[in-house]
Structure 1
């Protein structure tokens, strides 16, 4: 059972309008909306939310109250239940202390109405069943302190499970995924194995509703209560200012046949991000992004398949932008939400991610979220995080937990309206809006020369490290290496982020050598060693510095770097001779 991967990306809209060479950058701004099928903002959705906390954990209520205040959830829709205080609960505890009391509360408080649900059209022999016929709520927010795993129950037997493959005859599950089936619990549904999501891939967000069998569940959680509490604050900040930054996809390259659907899914998600104008980096090496990789200004990260957080993402400080989404596909990515260094979901939240998801037990590849659908719904269609997260789940009553504010909708406003708002406030984030416009045009075949003119004439470029670096990249594509280097040098003076600065220095070190600017190359490598000692690959730097010192007739320094190279290499390794440049 593999996830459904679309055969093709959604059809592109027509080309964006292009400006003339005279102040053409101004006329491109209204065209920002052209690449999007739907952009909307749903104000006042707090009344569609129930907030669930564990009354046995004081911090759980604190997180719940904070969320309710920020999202204006009515007090009558904040519900506490006395539950276990660890990571797991039994099937019996879930049923008796959470599911059934919650069903009663929703009915008694008039938050939904239960009745006879007609059989689906065309289902011969089916009879009406009991279900939710009307509902005032769509979302459930589960707060820090509520267990996230339901333990397997060896005494639970369902005859129909015999038709499942042996590895799927299991009844352990994520609490969130089971709660997503709460509307189905009114009439009963099988607990053994995954339950096919009837709304998988839906393009109409309004269909994601309890009357159609799905409650949109997400949790505010993480290694500590303050991390859980801050998730809604970061979501609201990104709703105001937009979710910006770069999109990183960490694929694996050549994989065995059974894993190819996962690799294909991630690559298609990367292509969709590129077509939507996100600055996209696709890595196809089997290893994770290494520690030395300049992972800068991360708005979106999707990768697989390491057991624990590692490489560039394991650094204590990762440049996650406000509102950032990160997802690493691994069987136990969310098994331990309290850990800061084991698995993925907990460590990602510790490092600043706003929204994420992952399995708490083995889901198998076919039971994992489809990231192509997620990006399409979240970015292109303007779905809320809760809507997009459950539209991309092929199955329910299974293993995925969803973490973050489900109301979070950073792409709810039209891009042109957000751009105008950022401009009116003088926000430096408007540079990212210009960058996205440039990328959208390039993705639709606009000549590079036109986008060079756009950036040259745009006043924001002169104050933005982000746009100046992009202009250098475009000069490079035009075969203008000196102009590219000049722009990258200028970007260094425009307050780049630490990791953007690292990338610029690496670009310049390589470019200076190709341009035979030996002294500039030498000083750039020295700067890299001085300022990024824990990140730069020292053997590479020492080797380059030794060769450059010889070129510059600095024999003492060349000898020093050769000695440092010998020390940096593993014992027994003979360092290659420094090559002449």
Structure 2
């Protein structure tokens, strides 16, 4: 965490577009993956490729479960080899689209033998202390400290051995062999780390975006709205929902750092002449308070979307909270990604499980890069995302290039 804080002590105000690689993603560089085993997946892929003039040979069909979660073995056996062959065949590919019908999440393969032995040892320590408390009715101060220590160690160990990931985040490292699955890996394209040495080389990373939603109609709307917004310009207001006042130069971390980044994003876009609404009160935006929303970022309403928005065609936004992309299909779910897509947003970001706040795209980078229109949606996500092989998912057309229509004076 100290490494993360140190990098952002000056935050994004020190970064300029001269530091951003000219990725210039084009239709010829996009590989589209559809599922033979999922109804409408192949048809939607063909429709999208025609809309975006992606070459027909850039379609890859796989056969995998049509459920939102697949096993690690299924991912490794049914998806990875096919994708690698496609990339070897066409070395122009720089981005992948996972279509409606491709699983959203990869389940954990479980602990290794060594990890399980370590967990069993910790569980034995805890059980011993529990029995001691049961026998004596209470514990002395030293024993209470031992309980706290073993409970904390178990919590940290479970966190460090978390192997659940979004399929898309894992797919961003499909070119890399034999990397660790525990926890996350640093993204070498993340702008503040561009001069840092990371365990991952840039050549081992590929962009991944998802065209998905509750039904096929949502997918078609995402694409159609993105294309229309590119042609006509994205109009409307920008809404940022912070929780606290801007801390100024005070060092912050965790939620404080991301709250500060929301303030910075608002400031940057306001300087660029956009209509920006920044709320720094504890309450979230309430129903009806965000008409004509073009861009949005806020936090923290866990799995409880607040219908405050009317989304402009081509709108982009995300909500910083846990597991907001745990499903895009469940009818009864109120997670933010699903509900925003249901209600008209064109692109969003969210995690499939507990991501920890510092794994979200940094708002001031993502929205500033996106709004200037020099990079596509997928590229904006790539340079603002701190970690790979983790929980985050980008839903939207990777080729979408936002063109903000200046508000009337």
Instruction: Provide the TM-score with structure 2 as the length reference.
Output: 0.79
Which of 278, 282, 294 is matched with 2:278 structurally? 282
**CA distances 1:201-251 after superposition (whole Å, capped 9, x unpaired):** 1799xxxx9962211100000111110122221111111111221000111
Give 1:399-418 correspondences, 5 Å limit.
399-411=391-403
User: Is the partner of 2:316 in helix, strand or coil?
Assistant: strand
Q: Confirm or deny: 8 A CA contact 1:37 1:380 kept in the other structure.
A: no
User: Is the partner of 1:70 in helix, strand or coil?
Assistant: helix
In structure 2, the CA distance between the partners of 1:10 and 1:381, relative to structure 1 (3 Å rule), is: farther
Q: Confirm or deny: 8 A CA contact 2:258 2:363 kept in the other structure.
A: no
In structure 2, the CA distance between the partners of 1:225 and 1:171, relative to structure 1 (3 Å rule), is: same
Q: Are 1:153 and 2:109 matched, yes or no?
A: yes
**CA distances 1:484-503 after superposition (whole Å, capped 9, x unpaired):** xxxxxxxxxxxxxxxxxxxx
Q: Which has the larger radius of gyration?
A: 1
**CA distances 1:435-481 after superposition (whole Å, capped 9, x unpaired):** 3xxxxxxxxxxxxxxxxxxxxxxxxxxxxxxx4xx6xxxxxxxxxxx
Question: Residue 98 of structure 1: CA displacement?
Answer: 0.7
Q: Are 1:69 and 2:68 matched, yes or no?
A: no
Distance 2:174 2:289 in 1: 44
Q: Confirm or deny: 8 A CA contact 1:41 1:409 kept in the other structure.
A: no
Which of 67, 71, 82 is matched with 2:63 structurally? 82
Q: Confirm or deny: 8 A CA contact 2:23 2:375 kept in the other structure.
A: no
In structure 2, the CA distance between the partners of 1:244 and 1:309, relative to structure 1 (3 Å rule), is: farther
Q: Could you tell me which residue of structure 1 aligns to residue 339 of structure 2?
A: 347
Distance 1:237 1:146 in 2: 26
Distance 1:137 1:210 in 2: 17
Distance 1:299 1:351 in 2: 13
Give 1:35-50 correspondences, 5 Å limit.
45-50=26-31
Which of 10, 18, 28 is matched with 1:7 structurally? 10
**CA distances 1:359-388 after superposition (whole Å, capped 9, x unpaired):** 001111122211111122212361110001
Distance 1:55 1:373 in 2: 37
RMSD: 3.1
Q: Could you tell me which residue of structure 2 aligns to residue 300 of structure 1?
A: 295
Question: Residue 105 of structure 1: CA displacement?
Answer: 3.1
In structure 2, the CA distance between the partners of 1:280 and 1:36, relative to structure 1 (3 Å rule), is: farther
Give 1:297-376 correspondences, 5 Å limit.
297-313=292-308, 318-339=309-330, 341-376=333-368
Q: Could you tell me which residue of structure 1 aligns to residue 72 of structure 2?
A: 91
Q: What residue ranges of structure 1 are gaps of 5+ in the alignment?
A: 14-34, 112-134, 416-431, 436-466, 471-581
In structure 2, the CA distance between the partners of 1:263 and 1:42, relative to structure 1 (3 Å rule), is: closer
User: Is the partner of 1:227 in helix, strand or coil?
Assistant: helix
Question: Residue 259 of structure 1: CA displacement?
Answer: 2.4
Question: Residue 328 of structure 1: CA displacement?
Answer: 0.3
Q: Are 1:201 and 2:217 matched, yes or no?
A: no
Q: Could you tell me which residue of structure 1 aligns to residue 36 of structure 2?
A: 55
Q: Could you tell me which residue of structure 2 aligns to residue 140 of structure 1?
A: 96
Q: Could you tell me which residue of structure 2 aligns to residue 450 of structure 1?
A: none
In structure 2, the CA distance between the partners of 1:49 and 1:156, relative to structure 1 (3 Å rule), is: farther
Question: Residue 400 of structure 1: CA displacement?
Answer: 0.2
**CA distances 1:79-103 after superposition (whole Å, capped 9, x unpaired):** 1111111110011011001112221
Question: Residue 257 of structure 1: CA displacement?
Answer: 6.9
Instruction: Provide the TM-score with structure 1 as the length reference.
Output: 0.57
Distance 1:157 1:176 in 2: 27
Q: Are 1:189 and 2:179 matched, yes or no?
A: yes
User: Is the partner of 1:296 in helix, strand or coil?
Assistant: strand
Q: Could you tell me which residue of structure 2 aligns to residue 28 of structure 1?
A: none
Q: Could you tell me which residue of structure 2 aligns to residue 526 of structure 1?
A: none
Q: Could you tell me which residue of structure 2 aligns to residue 250 of structure 1?
A: 241
User: Is the partner of 2:289 in helix, strand or coil?
Assistant: coil
Q: Confirm or deny: 8 A CA contact 2:233 2:402 kept in the other structure.
A: yes
Distance 1:371 1:37 in 2: 17
Q: Confirm or deny: 8 A CA contact 1:36 1:381 kept in the other structure.
A: no
Bigger relative contact order (CA 8 A; separation at least 6): 2
**CA distances 1:234-290 after superposition (whole Å, capped 9, x unpaired):** 111111111221000111127997521121121111112212222100111212112
